[in-house]
Amino acid sequence: MLIKNSTYYDGSKIVKGDFTNGVSDKEFDASGKFAFPAFNNGHTHLAMTLMRGAGDGEKLQQWLDNTIFPTEQRLTPDLVYKGSMLGLLEMIKTGTSNFLDMYYFVEETAKAVNKAGLRATLGTPITSFGTPYYKNANDALRIAERQLKNMSPGMVRYCVAPHSIYLNDEETLIRAKALADKYNAWLSIHVSETRKECADCHKKTGLWPIEYLDSIGLLGENTVLIHAAWLTKMEIKLIADREASVIHCPVSNMKLASGGVMPLPELLAGGVTVGLGTDGASSNNSLDMREEMKIGSLLQKSHRWDATVAGTRTMLHMATLGSQDLAFVSLDDVRMLPHHDLISNLVYSGGVVTDLIVNDRVIMDGGQILTFDEEKVKTEFMEAAAELLK
Amino acid sequence: MRIAALFSGGKDSNYALFCAQHYGWDVTHLVSVFSTSPESYMYHVPAIELTRLASESIGIPLIEVVTPPGPEAELIPLKDKLKELGIDGIVSGALASEYQRRRLDQICQDIGIKSFAPIWHKDQREYVREMVEEGFEIMITGCYAEGLDGSWLGRILDENALGSLDRLHKKYGISVAGEGGEYESFVSFGPHMSRHVRIEYEKEWKRDSGKIVVSKAWLQ
């Protein structure tokens, strides 16, 4: 597609004029708009939009035990589809075109992603206990393999997503990695989110979580470590040596009071690929990557007493890893004025996303979603959310 | 980030060190301050000689700073020593004492380094409970408050001891974390240590306060 009359960020500098994105010969007039790589949300539980605001303010374990786990036992494929559709609506409205997800009834989320026209890599959260989606870890692994085996080229990819060290036994973790390797897929796993998780792992194994994962062969180039909020320098070196990636979820970590702060400068200095993720809408509570960039930057600066770390370009790079798509904001948006530094405006000040182009296709045009009926999605979602929490 | 941890051997400085290590920071030194004052203004005295063993178990070299008596004079040798270490900042176990924290912040400001206090203003009761749950072995080494009798000396904090401290908090208002100087502690083992510090001691009790007097200590 030929993007005409645009002001755009090419990954290193702001450029004005026309440029191409994708292979079609269609044209998109971007006059008066700032184009930037659409966001890639590195960690979500998309359909948790259904639980947004439920149990807010509770301590992590109480929140999980009293609100999240019991509610998730009532999930159905239909509810997950409707929750996913609303999550996708929010992503489009905030400039996200791609995401790495971990949630139940993956087929429903895949259906929603295809309907919306975005990209996603989806994984079933594998746990040792049963869920409405599967009986046990063995069953979950079987479902994950079925998804990988049947994966066809397209906008939806699959990955293997063992939930965490603490919700899986060692054998399951090892089998999950073997499955990811067999199908050349990502393996994503929550790790080192809380001090308790680290201390429990150390008590049980004598090793810190990353060290433990490495000892059982879980770290590799296809491993995506989610959170990594509490890391020792030895663990940072292991992640770098094994070329694993890390997803930073600053808002979720702060909201759930994890206490730790991912050592971003140390990881980047070690050459580690670090992305940004919102986590689910029930622990954030949005899926807005612009907020994630801003708050992530502020958290690092505040935590380290250092205004030079986590700069705007770094945050935008982390928020748009591998992006092939385009999002647009109006250059006349009040939060984009003046134009001293458009990247800084985008990261710290914001601006309403007006358009989204994904895989050579306009998904949102001047705020209007072209792939589905926004109002219908909202109506159905409200009914689904009420049904789930009744 | 190169960090020196102010280290008394007590629970607060150990937990601050533990946090800094798990922030991914490079903790290059432990710094212990030995005051010639019988009643140090900032750093607790009874168990400080055990810090050498703790340092060995933690695997981070110990810098010992001897300071003269007096709240301000104590800080000068500490500041001079920190200046020499080539660090970006310090981490301290300041929990609620404005007095302690302000003075540390000031000397760091003077020499152009940062002063981090990871447990500052955390819920004291929860924080001590978490330490115990996470495997820190916290021994009471000095008692200085009504309600804490000689039986507390040498006691390791566990669920029962924490319950008793809760009851004493209700009755006498003492801080469960000992932040008001109600008790002093020593961490004889924790997840950041490779070996236990074992201690033989006598109890020394005078009127309404007491401390342990270490006769022998070793790494096991």
Domain residues of chain A, as ranges? 38-322+372-389
Q: Which residue of B has its CA nearest to A260?
A: B23
State whether residue B189 sits within 8 Å of chain A by CB.
no
Q: Check CB contact of A196 with chain B, cutoff 8 Å.
A: yes
Locate the chain A residue with the closest alpha carbon to B91.
A304
Residues of B in contact with A263 (CB under 8 A): 23-25
Q: Rounded distance, CA A206 to CA A221, Å?
A: 25
Q: Does B59 touch chain A (CB under 8 A)?
A: no
Enter the tokens of residue A80: 């997950």
Please name the residue of chain A whose CA is at the shortest distance from the CA of residue B15: A195
Pick from B21, B23, B135: which is nearest to A261 by CB? B23
* B80/B76 Cα distance (integer angstroms): 6
Q: Is residue A269 less than 8 Å (CB to CB) from chain B?
A: no
Q: Which pLDDT tens digit goes with each residue over A234-271?
A: 999 999 999 999 999 999 999 999 999 999 999 999 99
A68 near B CB under 8 A: no
Q: What's the token pair of residue A296?
A: 């992530």
Pairing of strands A361-365, B197-206: unpaired
Tell me the pLDDT band of A60, cut-offs 50, 70 and 90.
confident
Whether A231 and B25 lie within 8 Å, measured CB to CB = no
What letter does residue A360 receive in the DSSP assignment?
A: T
Residue among A108, A100, A97, A124 at smallest CA distance from A43: A100
Q: Which two tokens stand for residue A203?
A: 């008590």
Residue in B23, B89, B135 closest to A203 by CB: B135
Under CATH, which number does the domain A38-322+372-389 receive? 3.20.20.140
Which parts of chain B register pLDDT below 50?
40-46
Determine the residue type at A225: L
Return the structure tokens found at A329.
């904001």
Report CA-CA distances (Å) from B54 to A103, B5, B178, B202: 45, 13, 21, 20
Cα gap B126→B104, rounded to integer Å:
25
Number of Cβ within a 10 Å radius of residue B100? 20
* Minimal CA separation from A231 to chain B, in Å: 5
Residue linked to tokens 């440029």: A19
Tell whether B126 is within 8 A of chain A (Cβ).
no
Question: What are φ and ψ of residue A262, in 5° steps?
Answer: -55, 130
Region A1-9: what's the mean pLDDT? 96
CB contacts < 8 Å between A and B, how many? 49
Q: Return the SS3 of A311.
A: coil
| pTM summary value | 0.93
pLDDT, average across residues A129-145: 94
* Best B1, B23, B125, B134 residue to mutate vs chain A (most A CBs within 10 Å): B23
Q: Which of A232, A265, A267 sits opposite B22 (nearest CB)?
A: A232
Residue A357 has pLDDT above 70, yes or no: yes
Q: What angle do CA A304, A309, A311 make, to 5 degrees?
A: 140
Cβ pair A30, A72 in contact under 8 A: no
Residues of B in contact with A62 (CB under 8 A): none
Least CB-CB distance to B134: which of A199, A236, A262?
A199
CA angle B24/A169/A192 to nearest 5° reads 15
Among the partner residues A202, A236, A265, nearest to B191 by beta-carbon distance: A202
* ipTM summary value: 0.87
Give A61-118 pLDDT, tens digit per residue: 889 899 999 999 999 999 999 999 999 999 999 999 999 999 999 999 999 999 999 9
> Do the Cβ atoms of B135 and A266 come within 8 Å?
no
Contact A18, A30 (CB under 8 A): no
Q: Is A19 exposed, middle or buried (0-12, 13-18, 19+ CB in 10 A)?
A: middle
Q: Is B15 on the interface with A (CB under 8 A)?
A: no
Q: What's the rounded Cα separation, in Å, for the pair A386 and A137? A: 30
Q: What is the pLDDT of residue A156?
A: 97
Sign for the CA dihedral angle at B113, B19, B143, B215 comes to: negative
